[in-house]
Amino acid sequence: MTFREYDDCFLWFCDKCHHQAIFPLGDFWACVAELKARRWEFIRGEGDWDHRCPECKKKSEVNVSEMVLVPKKRSVVSE
């Protein structure tokens, strides 16, 4: 995900699927709130922000539910 601040607008651009959102320059956090309302996701990582657009979020949710089906930890716990 790429974020850019231009002279007259904010731009969020998804590197993966090229989904983008443009807002007129103003309250940054209001734009973030609006993006969240549109199901964009903002995750505070280690000192850095990770973003996901609604399209990529949908795909990752599919991946996560597939992963949940695999009981990875069972073999580690038994001793």
Q: Would you tell me which residues interact with Zn ion (CB under 5 A)?
A: 14, 16-17, 19, 53, 55-56
Indicate the SS3 state at residue 61.
helix
Nearer to Zn ion, 48 or 79 (CB): 48
The minimum distance between CB 17 and Zn ion, in angstroms, equals: 3
- CA atoms of 59 and 65, how far apart (whole Å): 10
Nearer to Zn ion, 28 or 59 (CB): 59
The minimum distance between CB 48 and Zn ion, in angstroms, equals: 18
Nearer to Zn ion, 9 or 39 (CB): 39
User: DSSP per residue over 14-68, as a string?
Assistant: -TTT--EEEEESS-HHHHHHHHHHTT-EEEE-SSSEEEE-HHHHHHHHHHHHHHH
The minimum distance between CB 42 and Zn ion, in angstroms, equals: 14
